Amino acid sequence: MRSAQFAALVARQPDNELFRFSLAQALLAENRPADAIEHLTACAAKKADWMMPRILLGKTLLGLNRKSEAKPWLAQALQLAIAQDHEDPAHELQAILQDL
């Protein structure tokens, strides 16, 4: 379990957003989306201009059928994608939001 390695790092350095992001990704790979939410939320809160945690958080919440919670994260991610000239994520996010 890769998540155990990152969980140990997060336990030692809970404010390290890179460790938290890696833990969230490992949890998602292990099909533990509910456990990843806390870490993705912490990453998004730590860096206002970090698009990826918002995308993953929105998609994770959608996968858990929590659409109303997902929408603001996806909208924030879309604004960041546009502002940062990330065309592919912007198109993907527009499509997701349009379907909500």
Tell me how many domains the chain contains: 1
Residue of 74, 52, 70, 53 whose CA lies nearest to 62: 70
Reduce the DSSP state of residue 32 to 3 states and report it: coil
Residue 75 confidence (pLDDT): 97
Helix 67-83 to helix 51-63 angle (10° resolution) is 150
Residue 59 confidence (pLDDT): 97
Residue numbers of the domain that contains 19: 2-99
Q: For residue 24, what is the domain's CATH number?
A: 1.25.40.10
Residue 33 confidence (pLDDT): 98
C-alpha to C-alpha distances, 41 to 19, 47, 85, 87, nearest whole angstrom? 13, 10, 23, 24
Q: How far apart are CA 4 and CA 79, in angstroms?
A: 33
- Residues 23 and 6: beta-carbon distance below 8 Å: yes
Q: pLDDT per position in the chain (100 positions), as tens?
A: 799 999 999 999 999 999 999 999 999 999 999 999 999 999 999 999 999 999 999 999 999 999 999 999 999 999 999 999 999 999 999 999 999 8
